Structure 1
Amino acid sequence: MSKHNFKLSVMSSMVAAMAIQSAPLQAQEQAEFIEEVLITGRAAKLYRVQSSNVGKLPTEPLESSQTVSALTVELIEDQGARDAGDLYRNISGVSFYSFAGVSARGFRQEEIYYDGLRGDPNAGFAVPQLFNIQRVEFLKGPAGMLYGPGAPGGLFNYVTKKPTDTLQGTLRAVVGDEDRRGAMAEVSGPLSDSFSGRAGVFYEDKGLLRHHASQETEVVDLGLSYSLNHHTTATLQYTHYDMIRHGARLRGVPVDDEGNFITSVRWNHNEPTDFLKMRSEVAQFSIDSRPIEGLTLDATLRYNDADEAQNYHEMNRLFDSTGDGQVDSVRRQWREQERNQENVSFGANAVWDMDLDSNIRNRVLVGMDYFTGDENRFASRLTGENSPTEGLPPPLSLFNPVYGQVPTSTYDSAPVVPNEFSMERQGFYVLDEVTVGPVVMVGGLRYDSFEDDVNGEKYSDSQVSYRLGGVYRARDDVSLYAQYATSFEPQDPGSQIPQRGGPFDPSQGDMVEMGLKTALMGGRIQSSAAIYQIRRDNVLQDDPRGDVLDDGFDNLLPAGEVTSRGLELDLAVDITPDWVATVNYAYNRIRITEGFTEDARSLGDNIGDRFANAPEHTLGFWTRYQFGQSGWAVALGGDFVDERISVDDQVVQSYTIFDASVIYETGPWRAMLRMDNLLDEEYATAGFRERTGHYVGKPRTAFLELRYTIQ
């Protein structure tokens, strides 16, 4: 028995044992819930989030001056999403920037939060998995007043699944093309009058489109909650992530200047023996309390320990090997990298909610957060060679690649180059919200300080951020809102090293936004419209000269000021009790409005330049129809992303793709047939450098998932 099957067997036994213990307590209630869903139609119950905590004050959408896109577990399941990249189409203004990063309102965004705290378990190069996620929240615009330093386009917060006081459990299996197979099991429910538990395991193995590339993912998720009394609950969670990509780390596929792939989208620059491995251990403890009426307290401590190792061939230069004027091969470099990171996050909040009189309500939030992290990086690779010699990676044909010509063990690698980073972030904030009749006014202030240590060189600074907002409830189902917020973000420690041109000053900016929100026809039609302007300085961009020092690190340059202006429209509608649809559209225009800082004037002013991977127009939709009480449902989704440019100004062509699901439910059983990219469109999700090509989108793929709900 393999280690994966052994772990899966052990965890499945744990899940089954827990289900047997809990079933007598909740079987009748769960059966009634399932019956209700089938009778009334699940569609009307899907995709609705009535309140979100990402703003740190639980607030209904129509009473908030912030814009939040919240994706429910029902939407995640109906779209067959396995990682965050499967969901971006559902968030207006968000699209791919790279394999693991996104473009949000035009800005590159890679900051990830879990339950409101820093501590991404994916080590920066893996896309967040969704198995243990209850809800995905995207808080649009600068969130610095509440969360501290971060990109101004928005912030992702992943709300993890917690133990529940009612029985909830599922067993799932999946098979599909690209050699996809997997199994999942999870159960949550009461263990006694005071304790509730959760146990889950996920395993999946699938191909990654490119030749000899595949991915194995394993997640083990455990949780235990203890109710001290009716007012206080403590929760302990542990999650283990284990992932390996064979024949990876994946870059793109070369294109011409018009964005056309010049070889098969399945072409792979990696050898079959290349790999990317990631292991992460996360422990989290949280406590929530309502000691007296009107006062809510919460505190969370999160610990994350992650290791990542990569051995891969990097594309270094495209060339013409036959002299016929056509590019047909690529020279490669061999890179060995190891990243080890350990971090601790802590956050605490107190909310005092009081009615000053019958027409005035006041809520005050006081909080703090702290983050410290250490990261050690080691890199060893061949540098600077542009022609094949003995012991170097041989060139690879774009059209007839021959792998395994030279064992990697014979490469004459450069010495190991260590880079050690550590960072410390702390912030204190206060927010006051006053509601007077139909008017909601909010104002907040935050003080941040940070200190980074990059190979013994220390960088520190502090900043005050603030937010002002207001909401006018024109009717119970219509509100107008506006807000102004500032942002502050130290440069990533990895960007501060001299090899990349660092150190660089922090980035600062501000945003003004206004809009309209509705919940018409008793909430059957929920919509929002927003217009915004974001300004930001010292935004690091890739140096067009690439690796200036020929040391394996692409150089960076800071732009003087960047301005992003846009419009976003979101609609979620229950067309009938059995038919639901969501549509989102975004327009964004982001340009450099002040040129590069003085040390980069030699490259030109660049005022008016577009930003890489920032589309001006995006459109996404998802619709689901259930055929009465038959148990059958169908769903269709679409995603349009406008033309963009790559880091090296090559065209990234626009694309439109469609996905569909067919679902059948009867009693505790649920079967779903999911097909991505129905028309088998060949497209690029984003563009990188000319030498590394464009990131390739999924071809037409399908899988079948079978689910059994524990009763």
Structure 2
Amino acid sequence: MSCNPTPSRARHLAHSVAVIPLLYALATPAYADESEVGESIVVTARAQNLYRVKETEIGKIAADPLDVPQSVQVINSDLIEDQGARDIRDLYRNVPGVSADNYATVTYRGFSQDVTYYDGLRGDPFQTFSVPQLFTIERVEFLKGPAGMLYGSGSPGGTINYVTKKPQDEFGGNVRLIGGGRNRYGASADVTGPLDAEGTITGRAGLFYEDMDSYRDHASSRTLVGDAGLGIRLAPETKLVVQVTDYDQNLPGNRLRGVPIDADGNFYAKRSWNHNDPDDYIRYNGLVTQARLDSTLSEALSFNVAGRWFTYDETQKYHEPVALKDTDGDGLYDAVTREYRDQKRNVEGLSFGANLVGRFSTGGLDHTLLLGGDWYREDSSGRNYASRDLPLRSLVDPDYTTDSRPDLSGVTPSYSDARALRRGVYLQEQLGIGEHVILVAGLRRDWFDDTDYIEGSQASSAATTRRAGAIFKPRKDISLYLSWSEAFEPQDVSDQSTLAGGPFDPETGSQWEAGVKTDLLGGRIQTTLAAYRIVRRNVLQIDDSQDAVNGVDQLAPIGEVTSKGIEATLTADVTRDWLISANYAYNDTRVTGTVEGQSVDRSVGDRFPNTPQNKAGFWTRYQVPAIATAFSFGGEFVSSQIDRSGDRLKPFAVFDATISHDFGIFEAKFRIENIFDKYYAVSGFTGAKGAYLGNARSWFIELRRAL
């Protein structure tokens, strides 16, 4: 297999440009209802039920969240729009138990989570150092706790499922322009609707571009997303949807690590400090194609079949901080050694999934039977040059004018070339007993086959995971539940390499959870309260006591980690025009067991890194119809954490606000984030790699015209 990326940037841009004709075709339908043009949610809609979600498919079956025996939270398009969210990091404050880790990963109920799903399928085009964009996303579903029975291998902390925007039966869309601080500018267009008079064929197309500078010296980002979809109604109750999405990102001055801190969490450098040189970069090109067929055969039987293919290329030329140095002997670190890395990575994945759902009654019992299976194959290859023959980078007075790229002509690169294969089948019964009791039980069998073509090694395993739950509903808008679920996750193929210290045993996990959910007063008050305990075994961590081998970090297992916590959410319509959403999470994640040969210096009983004990967030929105304006204000508090070296990360609180006004022919939104310009860390790595930073104060103005 080739270790060089195959799709070219020009091909990806061509896919993006290809959606433009569909934009034009959809933008001017002869039968559009002109009376709806320019209608604004600020003016015409009540705050009531604005963020309410009545149905989720994260449990594989379309269901009311009250009928799922685990904690579920869904962020819909209204909240994404109100908060001006551009990527997934903008949404974490809304979800208790979820906090930023690094790059595209999150800490989910105490554990790092980097496996995500799109419309229920594997196939994440943002697996490494690019962050998932939200332009193509209708809603984001968070299922808390292990979901091995539903999705196969994954973190026991929880599952994230992105539900993509689909072609709609009614015409709609918008055009947006954006401009703001740090030279931010961009535009987007999104349109959907029927393509024939009968509405048999529907379409959707979107195009997004945004350019902005970072608060880090010489770093910036440029993102282009093209998206198109076609829906074909093959029969009254059968529909096929095909989608294509193209991503192109250029990130100059990246890959960004953090800013080094001392043991008390004090930063050694300014927030603007960058360990990279101005000509370093990440360039990312991704392409995704997926199709799904949904059919209702009868009132008792329905099925769906879906497939997803993706590929991405990532080229990185950057300077990795390695070790802190005290160059003047005053006892304070004032510089870092660095390693220059020239890396290329290509990933191609293909996944399939099928679900058959039967609904029937026997003897007063209501059955919902789920039978399904999924299959996933991922091929990854890469090439890495690494050299430490370069000057220090000062923490106090960095010099960005000297070209420090070393001569790599005499350096021998390392290569990776691997395949991961996952397949599983599952069966679940949901039993309704009268109007008040629901019992759920499920069983899944998974098979895993991993191949490292460079080392010529293979690893195979199998696992059985289970799920059980009980729900009691004293009334239809109150749900009390208890559940138990399991997780199983083979170590990543790259982590099994002997270069990283492998091979390693797979991770396992299980959770007990109990809670209550409400949907009171017709949805005007929604609450959740959950308590849980998760035990996870064979967690891998980077072993900072060992040097990287040719750019590959060394890993070591921690025997057992236990996470315990409580989470609560509230969404309420205080008045007709005033809405409040708030959440709180308490989490205590600690090392509770060890294994023979463990080399990470973290004793049993110690807190686990990047797991804040307390996290709270809120968002309130008040609209004034008389002046066609909505005012929103939100904030987030995260308590202290430790990084992977045991250094303390200080607690922080940040706030943001939005003002939206309808001018009739267009809407305008002004948004400011991190109002008080707090300099803070959201998570930590080790030593010179530092603490990952929260965004500095930023603002933008967006103009939106509904089609």
Is the TM-score greater than 0.5? yes
Match of 1:381 in 2: 386
**How many angstroms does 1:7 deviate by?**
9.1
Displacement of 1:617 after TM fit?
0.5
Note the alpha carbon deviations across 1:122-169, whole angstroms, 9 max, x for none.
242111000000000111100100000000000110000010110111
Provide the C-alpha distance between the structure 2 equivalents of 1:197 and 1:580, rounded to a whole number of angstroms.
Answer: 34
Q: Which residue of 1 aligns with 2:58?
A: 54
Could you say which residue in structure 1 is the equivalent of 2:512?
Answer: 512
Q: Tell me, yes or no, if structure 1 residue 15 matches structure 2 residue 23.
A: yes
Alpha-carbon distance in 1 for matches of 2:101, 2:321 = 19
Matches within 5 A, 1:133-282: 133-192=137-196, 193=198, 194-282=200-288
Tell me the distance in 2 between the aligned counterparts of 1:219 and 1:531: 39
SS at match of 1:86: helix
For the Cα contact (< 8 Å) 2:287–2:311, is it kept in 1? yes
> Structure 1 residues 532, 8: closer, same or farther in 2, change over 3 A?
closer
Deviation, 1:15, is 1.7
Look up the SS of the partner of 2:32 in the other structure: helix
Shift of 1:550: 4.1
Equivalent position amino acid for 2:100 in 1: F
Residue 121 of structure 1 pairs with residue 125 of structure 2: yes
Matched with 1:371 is 376
1:314-352 CA distance string (max 9 Å, x none): 111121222333321111111011110111000000111
Change (3 A) 1:10 1:286: closer
- Give a deviation string over 1:5-51, Cα, whole Å, max 9, x none: 9998875564234211x2x32324734x937x566534224111101
**Secondary structure in structure 1 of the residue aligned to 2:132:** coil
* 8 Å CA contact retained: 1:465, 1:487: yes
Secondary structure of residue in 1 paired with 2:597? helix
- Counterpart pick for 2:615 among 591, 594, 618: 618
**After the TM superposition, which of the residue ranges 361-370 and 493-502 deviates more from structure 2?**
493-502
1:565 partnered with 2:569 = no
Offset at residue 629 of structure 1 (A): 4.0
Note the residue ranges of structure 1 that are not aligned, 5 or more in a row.
386-391
For 1:707, the equivalent position in structure 2 comes to 704
Taking the TM superposition and a 5 Å limit, the aligned residue runs for 1:220-619 are 220-356=226-362, 359-382=364-387, 385=388, 392-406=389-403, 408=405, 410-411=407-408, 414-437=411-434, 438-454=436-452, 455=454, 456-547=456-547, 550-595=549-594, 597-600=595-598, 606-619=603-616
> 1:689 is matched by which residue type in structure 2?
T
Is the Cα–Cα contact under 8 Å of residues 122 and 278 in structure 1 kept in the other structure?
no
Distance 2:617 2:89 in 1: 14
Change (3 A) 1:362 1:443: same
Aligned residues: 693
- CA shift, 1:498, in A, is 1.0
Q: Determine helix, strand or coil for the equivalent of 2:316.
A: strand
Aligned-partner residue type, residue 361 of structure 1: D
1:63 and 1:473 in contact (8 A); partners too: no
Code of the aligned partner of 1:556: L
Structure 2 vs 1, CA of residues 603 and 539 (structure 1 numbering), >3 Å: closer, same or farther?
closer
Cα contact 2:343–2:383 (8 A) shared by 1: yes
Letter in 1 for 2:605: G
Query: Could you report, residue by residue, the CA deviation over 1:82-113 in whole angstroms, capped at 9, with x for unpaired residues?
Result: 00000011111000111221100000111111
Q: 1:516-562 CA distances to partner (integer Å, 9 max, x unpaired)?
A: 11112222110010000001110112214142x64322211111111
- Equivalent residue runs for 1:45-124 within 5 Å: 45-124=49-128
User: SS at the partner of 1:15?
Assistant: helix
Between stretches 289-298 and 523-532, larger displacement belongs to: 289-298
Aligned amino acid, residue 258 of structure 1: D
CA deviation digits over 1:465-517, x for unaligned, max 9? 01010100012222210101111100111211112111001111211100011
The answer to whether residue 689 in structure 2 is matched with residue 689 in structure 1 is no
SS in 2 for 1:89: helix
Give % identity: 42
CA distance in 1, matches of 2:13, 2:428: 50
Shift of 1:436: 1.1
CA contact (8 A) 2:445 2:465 kept: yes
2:39 counterpart of 1:34: yes
Unpaired runs of 5+ residues, structure 2, are: 1-8
1:284 deviates by 0.5
Distance 1:655 1:569 in 2: 20
Question: Is 1:649–2:649 an aligned residue pair?
Answer: no
**Which AA in structure 2 matches 1:491?**
Q
Cα distance in structure 1, aligned partners of 2:539 and 2:13: 47
Local SS of the residue matching 1:87? helix
Distance 1:634 1:13, change over 3 A: farther
Q: Deviations over 1:355-388 (max 9, x none)?
A: 335x532100000000001000211111xx5xxx
**Which whole-Å deviations, capped at 9, do the CAs of 1:591-644 have from their partners, x for residues lacking one?**
11111x2122x6667111211100010001111110124310010111111100
Distance in structure 2 (CA, Å) of the matches to 1:413 and 1:273: 22
Per-residue Cα deviation, 1:285-317 (whole angstroms, up to 9, x for no partner): 110001222211101110001110100011111
Secondary structure, in 3 states, of the residue corresponding to 1:62?
helix
Q: Is the 8 A contact 2:253 2:279 kept in 1?
A: yes
Residues of 1 paired with 2:477 and 2:688: CA distance?
A: 53
Does the aligned pair in 1 maintain the 2:301–2:358 contact within 8 Å? yes
Larger mean CA deviation between 253-262 and 426-435 belongs to: 253-262
Map of 1:677 onto structure 2: 674
Paired residues of 1:123 and 1:307 also in contact (CA < 8 A): no
Residue 175 of structure 2 contacts residue 188 of structure 2 at CA under 8 Å; is this kept in 1?
yes
Counterparts in 2 of 1:6 and 1:62: CA distance versus 1, 3 Å: closer
TM superposition shift of 1:703: 0.3
Name the amino acid aligned to 1:300.
A
Instruction: Give 1:163's aligned amino acid.
Output: P
Query: Separation in 2 of the partners of 1:7 and 1:118?
Result: 22
Q: Which deviates more, 362-371 or 315-324?
A: 315-324
Q: Partners of 2:179 and 2:16 in 1: how far apart?
A: 16
Q: Structure 1: which amino acid aligns with 2:590?
A: R
Does the 8 Å contact 1:199/1:222 carry over to 2?
yes
Q: In 2, distance between residues paired with 1:640 and 1:399? A: 30
Counterpart of 2:555, as a letter, is L
How many Å separate the matches in 2 of 1:19 and 1:356? 50
In structure 2, give the amino acid aligned to 1:541: Q
Alpha-carbon distance in structure 2 between the residues aligned to 1:419 and 1:180:
37
Distance 2:304 2:408 in 1: 54
Match of 2:659 in 1: 662
Q: Cα RMSD (Å) of the superposition?
A: 1.9
Structure 1 partner of 2:5: none
Q: In 1, are the aligned partners of 2:660 and 2:669 still within 8 Å (CA)?
A: yes
SS at match of 2:186: strand
Does the CA contact (< 8 Å) of 2:211 and 2:222 recur in 1?
yes
Residue type matched to 1:446 in 2? Answer: R
